[in-house]
Amino acid sequence: MVLEIDVNHITNLLTDKLTTWFNDFVRLLPNIVIAAIILVLGFYLAKLIRNLALRFINKMSQNATLNNLFGSIIYITVIGIVLFTALSILQLDKAVTTALAGAGILGLALAFAFQDIAANFMSGVFISFRKPLHVGDIVSVSGYMGKVIEVNLRDTVISTFEGKTVIIPNKDVFQNAIENYSLQGKRRFDLEVGVSYGDDLEKVKRITLEAVRDIEGLSEADETTMFYTGFGDSSINFSIRIWVNTPEQMAFKKVGSEAIMRIKKAYDDNDIMIPFPIRTLDFGIKGGEKLSEMSVNVAQSRANSIE
């Protein structure tokens, strides 16, 4: 008898609960239909807005990765508005608000935990807009010089001339100086040389400029210049500046090497001397032994040792 009463009681509870749910479903059925229609139209509208936004963004930026990122952000934002509207129609907006508040707190905690990643990401966005460097540019960044092979939203990849691939976080790229050798389409080779004090400086300048005049790869728009820079310990020093018509490293090195060989040959042919560094040794200063007396002293020391 007790078992039968319990079964009947449970059956009645389930029946009442199912009846309540059914009544609530019937009552909310119009809202459910409206919410479903809003969801379908909302997803279609989100895609349409994303496509229109991408057309506009592509006219302003050529970075496909960044453009797709902004398109995804716009799409997710519209979808979020649609979902929140649909849940409000179903009278579930309070629960959603509570969930969003919790998600906000969690997002703040994650932001502190991954602030370096966020900094690199935002730096990548700014780099994409400012475009201080492009793929294929020859740059020097954070002490590394080479050719840019990839620029994404988190890091910049450089292939150095020593054969190394360097991945530099965008935060370091954005916050430090960037030396871009490709923006002007040319590079300057600076060569420091010294000639003897006995040489005619006018003659040296004329022969030096003639030696490098017709090197292959020189820029036609820029003049090769030479300036005397100072009096050295054993030479009069000058600097010659040669413009190369391409920023490529191999051409830059070839022009510099050719300039050095031509200047050396021209100086040999015209008796112009590039002096060796000179060091004067003074043995007789402040009580020191004079060089002229050293042989005598050495001979006397040997004679005393023999005795």
pLDDT at 107: 64
Place 278 in a pLDDT band, splitting at 50, 70 and 90: low
Place 46 in a pLDDT band, splitting at 50, 70 and 90: confident
122-159 tens-digit pLDDT: 888 788 778 888 889 999 998 899 999 988 878 899 99
Cα 180 to Cα 123, 134, 186, 244, 251: the distances in Å are 18, 10, 11, 15, 17
The answer for residues whose C-beta is within 8 angstroms of residue 254's C-beta and 6 or more apart is: 217
CB 124 within 8 A of CB 152: yes
pLDDT at 257: 95
Is 80 exceeded by the pLDDT of residue 65?
A: no
The chain-wide mean pLDDT, for the chain, equals 80
Is 70 exceeded by the pLDDT of residue 80?
A: yes
Is 60 exceeded by the pLDDT of residue 213?
A: yes
4-23 tens-digit pLDDT: 456 666 676 677 666 776 66
Main-chain dihedrals φ then ψ at residue 241, nearest 5 degrees: -115, 120
Of 24 and 127, the one with more pLDDT:
127
Of 7 and 197, the one with more pLDDT:
197
pLDDT at 298: 45
224-237 tens-digit pLDDT: 999 999 998 889 99
Q: Which domains does the chain have, with CATH numbers?
A: 7-113 (1.10.287), 132-180 (2.30.30.60), 187-269 (3.30.70.100)
How many Cα atoms occupy the beta-carbon half-sphere of 4 within 13 Å? 1
47-63 tens-digit pLDDT: 888 888 888 877 776 66
The pTM assigned to this predicted structure is: 0.61
* Nearest one of 160, 162, 168, 163 to 132, comparing CA atoms: 168
Cross-sheet strand order for the sheet of 225-231: 187-195, 236-244, 225-231
The answer for residues whose C-beta is within 8 angstroms of residue 213's C-beta and 6 or more apart is: 224
Place 2 in a pLDDT band, splitting at 50, 70 and 90: very low
pLDDT at 113: 54
pLDDT at 299: 47
